[in-house]
Amino acid sequence: MERRIKFIYGLTICAIVAYSIVQGYWLYSRYQLSLEEYKSELYSTIIACAEEDIAIRKTLPYSPRFYGNRLRKTSEIKGDDVVETWRYEIFALDTLHYSLPIPKGADAHTYLLEYIASLLDDHPAELPEGLEYFVFTCNSKKNEDMGTSQLVEALNRFTVDHQHPFQKERLDSILRSKGITAQSITTTKTDTMVWQPSMQPHTSIWQPVMTVSFPYDIFEGQQVVVKTAISISPVIRRMAYTLLITVLLSLFLIFCLVYQILTIRKQRHIEAIRQEFLHTMIHELKRPISTLKMCVSFMGNERMMQDGESKQRILASSHNELDNLTSYFSKLRDITFSDSTEIPLVKSRFSLRSLMEECIGKQNIPSDKDVRMEIVAEDDLEIQADRMHLSNIVCNLLENAIKYSREAVTIRIDFLMREAGMVQISVADNGIGIAKADQRYVFDKFYRSESAKDQAIPGIGLGLSYVKLLVEAHGGTITFESIEGEGTTFTILIPQTDGKD
């Protein structure tokens, strides 16, 4: 059985560890997924901010310029591939410094394009003032489609940046308006055209940093690089419900497993108490049974029956052991009640001093102990209570004071009437006292301290729990003060204002 319980313990612990590892891995994977989703959204927001910056610059006032462009393509065979070279020619004409008469009926845009193209072809080195000329080249394979929309977008970005150059401060302001704080905003220039924005992967899971590159002038290879930290808070908020459900399920499972272990431990403890109770009960019953057996044997011997002194001694001893046996059975009967209010009480009025004297006389004093019991109360009190139960209460306290003492012990019994109709009864001794570690358990059923077990002090662990049950049945309370090695004082308060018998 013990090996099986240990196996269950080990299996439960392994299950908790395995579940924790699986849940941790799953949460980590879910965190990475949420981080990637948030990173994608943040990337889209930064790109949108860069495009908004271009849109804002388009609306700013600009000097009157006429922009034109011409696209040329040449092909060259390199190995198995046909490489196409795209030549972009862009010219900007400042109409304030350069005026050109346009023939009547001619389209101004077409006429200017043809005129500027002829100037570039005939006299490329002698451009008039107010005319700027830019040339960009790009290579692509035969089957690659450069796309008209891409060319138009590249020309638009070039025109915007030529009119109103990019400013970091403006982009930073747009980013802040979207709740993004950039660690740095820098510009770079590449040797080749960069057509699409890009994002560099972050290198840290717990402190990720995003680096986004956006080509604000495709033809000239101008890029803005935005570096910003990825906040963990939005990622955690996205996982809030997942985390909550996971934590609750994990706590519930761990609680069930721990509760299972605690239940097994409790069952083991109950089984140990049961075994100890049975052994102690058998030990306690041996003495009265042996005494009664000796009495029966004595009564069967006619010669010994003639000895009056021996006869009285045997009868007294038998009577005493029968009283002890009756006391044990009374404890076992009353201790089975689940509530102190279920214990039947037969109240009557009687002298408290006479009851104390009777309890003192009932005590069986061991021959190896010097026991002194005295009643220190000066006056007698007449109280109303169940006389038999109150006698059991006092007898149990006196019996404990004698058992848990050294060779010599003095027991002082006191009683008095307190205010509010409360009778106070105290039993004090100068015995071995109760250890601090045991004081919280003294009223528990079947509890016996380790020192009592080590010293082989007889008992079944029901005395004080039985006393507390009977005191509470009277509507009273019991408390104690104890110092280990110096002694213990039990104090009982029983109300006298209850009009019910």
pTM for the full predicted model: 0.48
Q: Strand runs (DSSP E) across 146-256, as ranges?
A: 182-189, 198-200, 209-217, 222-229
Whether the CB-CB separation of 392 and 355 falls below 8 Å is answered with no
Tokens standing for residue 156: 């638009």
354 is in which domain, residue-wise? 342-495
Three-state DSSP state, 162: helix
Phi first, then psi, for residue 229 (nearest 5°) are -80, 140
Name the helix (H) or strand (E) containing 244: helix 240-299
Whether 163 is in a domain gets the answer no
Amino acid 494: pLDDT: 93
Task: Tell me, yes or no, whether 80 lies in a domain.
Answer: no
The CATH code of the domain that includes 357 is 3.30.565.10
In a domain? residue 373: yes
Task: Provide the domain count of the chain.
Answer: 1
Q: Is there a domain that residue 362 lies in?
A: yes
pLDDT at 501: 44
**Predicted pLDDT of residue 284:** 63
In this structure, the strands spanning 422-429 and 487-495 are antiparallel
Place of tokens 């729990």: 465
pLDDT, position 357: 92
- Distance, in Å, from the CA atom of 478 to the CA atom of 492, rounded to the nearest integer, reads 5
Strand stretches in 277-359, DSSP E:
347-351
Structural contact between residues 428 and 412, judged by C-beta atoms closer than 8 angstroms? yes
**Token pair of 125, please?**
């080195």
Residue-by-residue DSSP string for 350-383? EEHHHHHHHHHHH----TT-EEEEEE--SS--EE
* Residue 485: inside a domain: yes
Do the domain assignments include residue 353? Answer: yes
| 393 assigned to some structural domain | yes
> Token pair for residue 246?
């996971």
- For the chain (length 501 residues), average pLDDT per consecutive 10? 72 81 83 84 91 89 72 71 74 68 65 69 64 74 59 84 88 91 89 86 75 89 89 78 82 82 78 69 70 76 73 75 71 59 80 92 83 89 90 89 88 89 92 86 77 63 82 91 90 76 44
In a domain, 157, yes or no: no
- Cβ atoms of 90 and 67 within 8 Å: the answer is yes
**What confidence score (pLDDT) does residue 336 get?**
61
